[in-house]
Chain A
């Protein structure tokens, strides 16, 4: 089983649609979770961290289910500018005296928002 798994998509949605991405991770002891966004041929950029209680940032809502080892991202009222690849990311478990260490990336889910 891969450490972080995502549906690669592509998800093709019209402007204004609501779209949800899911992600599963294999190590139950993982502690930190993130969604990054990567535009074509660009670097990943942090979209939001994911907390156990769930968190929202404008049109974006992230949820974490530790029992199922499942992370989700919901995008409401999709914009053309939301078109990108969304990366599910968890921290590694290596402990360098409290360090989060390196990040483990899923392959990403591609979103294309059409007019």
Chain B
């Protein structure tokens, strides 16, 4: 069964360092997303991406964050200068359609720990 894959599964970094989280969405999907979940808290929307551009983003997704689809298969989330509060599980998701018709398929997550 097709699935969303994410790497790395766990990354430990020093505050101020750049981090890139990678995702391979399901191959025929057109909509891509990043969500995050701080330990013990709700899952929060970060950004959605369609047709090679950001379609929606939340207040969390500030100038320190960026997304890119560098080729036909990968979808990346970059955090330029990590802060302690960026420590969280980051989930990538993809869907074949947007809006109400779009069932999201989530990856297993990348756990980011900022020291």
> Is B truly associated with A?
no
- Which B residues are within 8 Å of any A CB, using their own CB? none
- Which A residues are within 8 Å of any B CB, using their own CB? none
